[in-house]
């Protein structure tokens, strides 16, 4: 068993999670970390195709042999090429929660139903100015609308984790302003390493020129990164991107 992996053993909860995904036979489902297939069973019964990414060779073989309409991709979910899917349903391995969530958000999707440690969900949904607010919160707010569906007790897993979990449903934000995603990601990452500095000082420290900052709202420049909402991060990314495009002409 990989570090941080806790197998869901409560069949009732597994069936509910599959139900939250509103699966039809035309759906192509991605599951990350199927483990022993407790959730996979209910996904395979509903979807036309399930793709399951599993790092453990023995578990990958077990899942592939158990479900005929499941294609198992054996490897690291952070590194393998992702198949073409439209929904993601997973009890995500805790130790890769942040990295895999950021990867999934940047890939097109219709809906995701994901289970995380409860504290992780609190970070996803944190408000500007709070201690939990950070890069994860900003990226989730930019890409998706999030609905908390239920809390799952520790007793639903083996081995039993130290904390309870939460199931969330994410739908893509159709109204978001489109900006360069790599710039948005790097800006949110870099500014939160300097979360208590003024934004203008934090931007200067990562090499953003003064002429770029002249095009930003002064109220943004005088704030701290930890107090900015997602719209302010979008504005910073847009202005930085516009200047880079001009400079490349």
Q: What is the CA 71 to chain-centroid distance, rounded? A: 22
Q: Quick check: 6 and 157 in contact, CB under 8 A?
A: yes
Whole-number Å distance between alpha carbons of 239 and 152:
42
Rg (the chain; Cα; Å)? 20
Whole-number Å distance between alpha carbons of 31 and 89:
5
Residues belonging to the binding site for S-adenosyl-L-methionine are: 6, 8, 33, 54, 76, 91
Whole-number Å distance between alpha carbons of 78 and 63:
20
Residues belonging to the binding site are: 6, 8, 33, 54, 76, 91
Total residue count of the chain as it appears in this document: 249
Neighbours of 4 (CB within 10 A): 14
Q: Which two tokens stand for residue 38?
A: 């407790």
In sequence order, which residues have a C-beta less than 8 Å from that of residue 172 and are 6 or more positions away?
108, 109, 110, 143, 144, 145
Whole-number Å distance between alpha carbons of 46 and 44:
5
Closest C-alpha among 63, 41, 38, 43 to residue 152 = 38
């Amino acid at each position: 068993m990989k570090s941080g992996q806790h197998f869901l053993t409560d069949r009732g909860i597994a069936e509910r999670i599959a139900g939250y995904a509103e699966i039809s036979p035309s759906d192509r489902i991605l599951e990350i970390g199927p483990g022993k297939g407790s959730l996979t069973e209910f996904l395979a019964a509903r979807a036309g195709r399930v793709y399951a990414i599993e790092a453990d060779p023995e578990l990958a073989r077990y899942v592939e042999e158990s479900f005929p309409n499941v294609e198992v991709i054996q490897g690291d979910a952070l590194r393998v090429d992702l198949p073409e899917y439209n929904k993601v349903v997973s009890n995500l391995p805790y130790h890769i929660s942040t990295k895999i969530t950021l990867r999934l958000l940047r890939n097109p999707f219709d809906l995701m139903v994901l289970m995380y440690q409860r504290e992780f969900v609190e970070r996803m949904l944190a408000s500007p100015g709070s201690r939990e607010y950070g890069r994860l919160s900003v990226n989730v707010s930019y890409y998706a609308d999030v609905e908390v569906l239920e809390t799952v007790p520790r007793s639903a897993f083996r081995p039993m984790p130290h904390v309870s979990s939460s199931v969330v449903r994410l739908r893509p934000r159709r109204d978001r302003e489109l900006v360069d995603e790599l710039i948005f990601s790097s800006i949110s990452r870099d500014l939160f390493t300097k979360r208590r500095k003024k934004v203008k000082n934090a931007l200067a420290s990562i090499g953003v020129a003064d002429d770029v900052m002249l095009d930003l709202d002064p109220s943004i420049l005088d704030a701290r990164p930890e107090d900015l909402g997602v719209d302010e991060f979008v504005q910073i990314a847009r202005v930085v991107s516009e200047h880079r495009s001009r400079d490349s002409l």
